[in-house]
Amino acid sequence: MCGWKSKLRLTCGRGAPRVRRRLGEGGTPRIGGCARTLFSLCALALAGCGQHDTAPAGGSAAAPQILRLSQRNEPASLDPATTTLPDEFGILRALLEGLLIPGANGGDPLPGVAQRFDASPNGLVYTFHLRPAARWSDGQLVTAGQFVAAYRRALTPATAAPKASVFFPVKNARAFVTGQLIDFTSVGFRAADPRTLVVTLEQPNPRLPHYVASGPWLPVPTDVIAKHGRNWTRPEHFVGNGPFLLAEWRADQRIVVKKNPYWHGAASVKLTEIRFERFDNGDSEDRAYRAGQIDATMAIPFSKVPVYARERPAELHRAPMIETRYLAFNTLRPALNREARLALSLALDRLKIVERVLQGGQLAATHFVPPQLAAGPASSPESPRHDPDEARRLLARAGFPAGRGFPRLELSGWTQSQVLEAIQQMWREKLGIQISIAVREAKVHLDALRTGDFDIAFATSIPDVADPAAMLSDFAGLAPLNYPRWSDREFDAALAADRFAAAEERLLESAAVVPLYFNTKIWLMSPRVRGWQEDGLWARCYQGISLDEK
């Protein structure tokens, strides 16, 4: 096999491996026990074979196509039900495939496991038709019932899925996840047969295909999870249905994925392997790129942008993102009453932050929803409201004249220390208050946000779907990502009625959050990378990428 011999012996019970046939839905044979292990080993062996391409006549063997990418944050999870960070979903999209996948440049979603779908005339029912060739990486067929089981797991209250709201367009999904409904058969997911998934909505939603293509809708093998529990994401247990297999996960070092021969489009995948290399900061990432150790970075140190623009413009890339960087105030802190929050907001010069600190084409923000989603009439990003005099008056009304008596709170983040320092300086100079800064690992920072263990936090809002509802729903009263611990009935009512401009206005009036800027991704990429696809939501598709070895 591939010119090499394996010394591996696989036994199961008392004898050699056996394939057990268990009837799944619709009488479909299911493969169990040892057969899973055997299929996984064969898949890895076949992936290894893919690295030894046949040499062309008179030439040498083709070099493996290994893409090396920077990974700035150690994943807290590779389970789509509990994942929150875009770069975690970036890895998951190599390993798992949803019913639909994101379209290029934010366009209409493309076929994934579902080769096509139909919508009923009233827009309430979507029917997805699965590919007959869709398989898990252990060789088992992907079925509609497995999607239903995965979605039930994601919506079960005990899972506490932070992105559960992405399923709320589906009938009774909100009621099930909040515990108002306990019978999942009343939720709008139904496997009509092994190849047909029917989704019923609460109300017509023409954006539903974009929700289906989002990261939280990725499937998981619930039978594997039942067997291995939280350890199912370890390489030796991971079973996926995407174009790559999880081959290695060394914490704080690297994650390696290899081509999956069982994926239905494997013949078109050019990459042999993808290595996600972990870096602690932008400077080490930049050095690795310059040394030729990685093919693409996630970002660039602010100070290096002009240098690369001048010296290596072909390798410098910019893309506006559907992302708002903001400050979240912990509204449970007594000192952070509404007047104090408004004062802190008005003391910030956002134009100075984007023009003098970031210098990367970011837009200063006075509203929360990015221009691409336009919840209502947009404020001009060229003239953000900056009023230090009014800020001082409000701070005095809050009980802290000239900053006297204001407690020394902490401003925390996981990145952008220069931005945090600029904010610290503005508050000190304009309001006379002292704020300390804490920069932590991303997963530590996110844990603090989720548990409320923070005062003022630098945060980012990236919707899973290009829809203002998906972005604003994070601030509904019981939402898991409602970091400010803010609750407002008028906001919830406006959001439920799809009055997004009114909901956004209510959020900004509260000053529970302070939008700073709309982000632009700036990164370096080797000219040898071809077919790169990443949208404004940080969603990547790897199957079209290749490397020019010339």
Q: Token pair of 324, please?
A: 């708002």
pLDDT of residue 131: 98
Average pLDDT along the chain: 87
3-state per-residue secondary structure call for 298-327: CCCCHHHHHHHHHHCHHHEEEEEEEEEEEE
Cβ atoms < 10 Å from Cβ of 243: 26
Question: Is residue 430 packed enough to be buried (19+ CB in 10 Å), middle (13-18) or exposed (0-12)?
Answer: buried
Cβ atoms < 10 Å from Cβ of 400: 22
Contact between 123 and 201 (Cβ < 8 Å): yes
Mean pLDDT of 474-491: 92
Higher-confidence residue: 547 or 46?
547
Contact between 257 and 274 (Cβ < 8 Å): yes
Q: Token pair of 445, please?
A: 């920072």
Contact between 291 and 306 (Cβ < 8 Å): no
Q: Token pair of 471, please?
A: 């972005």
Q: Which helix (H) or strand (E) holds 438?
A: strand 436-439
Residues in the chain: 550
Mean pLDDT of 256-274: 97
pLDDT of residue 375: 56
Q: Which helix (H) or strand (E) holds 191?
A: strand 189-193
Mean pLDDT of 196-212: 96
pLDDT of residue 61: 56
pTM for the whole structure:
0.82
Question: Is residue 489 packed enough to be buried (19+ CB in 10 Å), middle (13-18) or exposed (0-12)?
Answer: exposed
pLDDT of residue 255: 98
For 96-107, the pLDDT digits (tens) are 999 999 987 778
Q: Which helix (H) or strand (E) holds 513?
A: strand 513-524
Pairing of β 254-259 and β 273-278 = antiparallel
3-state per-residue secondary structure call for 118-150: EECCCCCEEEEEECCCCECCCCCECCHHHHHHH
pLDDT of residue 314: 96
Question: Is residue 504 packed enough to be buried (19+ CB in 10 Å), middle (13-18) or exposed (0-12)?
Answer: buried
Any alpha helices (H) in 388-441, and if so which ranges?
388-397, 417-431
Task: Look at the block and give the residue holding tokens 């996948």.
Answer: 101
pLDDT of residue 11: 34
**d(C-alpha 103, C-alpha 541), whole Å:** 9
CA-based nearest residue to 66, from 291, 289, 288, 275: 275
CA-based nearest residue to 327, from 403, 394, 411, 389: 411
CA-based nearest residue to 242, from 371, 381, 91: 91
Ordered domains of the chain (ranges, CATH):
96-224 (3.90.76.10), 320-521 (3.10.105.10)
pLDDT of residue 3: 33
Cβ atoms < 10 Å from Cβ of 157: 12
Q: Token pair of 297, please?
A: 């970075």
**d(C-alpha 164, C-alpha 173), whole Å:** 9
CA-based nearest residue to 247, from 273, 265, 222: 273
For the chain, count helices (H), then strands (E): 16, 20
Mean pLDDT of 405-432: 94
Any alpha helices (H) in 359-499, and if so which ranges?
388-397, 417-431, 442-451, 468-472, 489-496
Q: Token pair of 353, please?
A: 């932050």
pLDDT of residue 335: 97
Cβ atoms < 10 Å from Cβ of 299: 20
pLDDT surpassing 80 at residue 19: no
Q: Which helix (H) or strand (E) holds 523?
A: strand 513-524
pLDDT of residue 378: 45
> What type of residue is 36?
R
Residue 226 phi, psi dihedral angles, 5° rounding: -60, -30
For 102-153, the pLDDT digits (tens) are 987 778 999 999 999 999 999 999 999 999 999 999 999 999 999 999 999 9
Residue 376 phi, psi dihedral angles, 5° rounding: -165, -170
pLDDT surpassing 70 at residue 40: no
Mean pLDDT of 31-55: 39
Contact between 235 and 246 (Cβ < 8 Å): yes
* Angle CA 26–27–30, to nearest 5: 115
Mean pLDDT of 323-331: 97
**d(C-alpha 36, C-alpha 241), whole Å:** 14
Cβ atoms < 10 Å from Cβ of 189: 24
- For residue 129, list its beta bridge partners: 116, 196
